[in-house]
Homo-oligomer: A and B are copies of this chain.
Amino acid sequence: MASTEHPGGPAFLFDLDGTLIDSVYQHVLAWREALDQVGISLSVWKIHRRIGMSGGLFVTALARELAQSLDPETLTRLPSLHADAYIRLFDSVEPLPGAAELLGTLSEHGVPWAIATSGSERYARPALELLGLADDTPLITRDQVRYAKPDPDLFLTAAERIGVEIRDGIVVGDSVWDLLAARRARSLGIGLLSGGYGREELIYSGAFRVYEDPRDLLAHLDEVGVRRPL
């Protein structure tokens, strides 16, 4: 029987912010600060709804929202102003409940996994330490692909890095952008509420299952194809 007819065991492709670490609200504030610095006022909930997508697309969406043209120099400066502000807030970021235990359990049972984030290496790297993960943890960041989420490139590259077929991949993310990217990659998507999106938003974006946070997913691994010896 050709191996293409039966999928292999599942492999998990994790988003980082709002999925493994509790950093979404710090990103929201960091974007707000960056926008303030260039004289742009945008309601905070609209910033929240854009977290997790590529910084470039964020800025494009922003320009549409404002219905005013922004000079290219300002647009180019925004992502690094945001990164600076986020790094200043990083001290208040904590791992989400169950994150380290979930990753540890997957490793223990030989289930492959990787992390794929629209964020840059500069502030994704310190998150590994926060989670108690080794430096050689498979981590794909914005800098390593042409297009970030909702394009599927980050998850495709992550699957390749750990040597699994993307059709066996299960994307785990807190945002609509993770789930859209999962569908475009033809992976399954699991939504987590821990980034502050509502359950229904995640389902409408294609989540095949929604859990509260990593701890809740860990408690229900059997629902998504991970067999654990009793």
A interface with B by C-beta (< 8 Å): 18, 22, 24-25, 28-29, 41, 43-45, 48, 94, 96-97, 193-201, 204, 213
Contact = CB atoms under 8 A, between A and B. Distances in A.
B22 A196 contact: no
* Contact residues of A: prevailing secondary structure: helix
A98 to B, nearest CB: 10
Highest count of chain B CB atoms <10 Å: which of A96, A97, A200? A200
15 contacts: A18-B45, A24-B45, A25-B25, A25-B44, A25-B48, A41-B94, A43-B97, A45-B194, A45-B195, A45-B196, A48-B196, A197-B198, A199-B200, A200-B200, A200-B201
Contacts of A43: 22, 96-97, 194, 213
Given A22-B45, A44-B196, A198-B201, 20 more contacts: A18-B45, A22-B44, A24-B44, A25-B25, A25-B28, A25-B44, A25-B48, A29-B29, A41-B94, A43-B96, A43-B97, A45-B193, A45-B194, A48-B196, A196-B196, A198-B198, A199-B200, A199-B201, A200-B201, A200-B204
Contacts of A28: 25
A29 B25 CA distance: 9
Contacts of A193: 45
Nearest to A97: B43
Contacts of A24: 44-45
Contacts of A18: 45
Of A194, A198, A204, A213, most buried by chain B (CB within 10 Å of CB) is A198
Contacts of A45: 18, 22, 24, 193-196
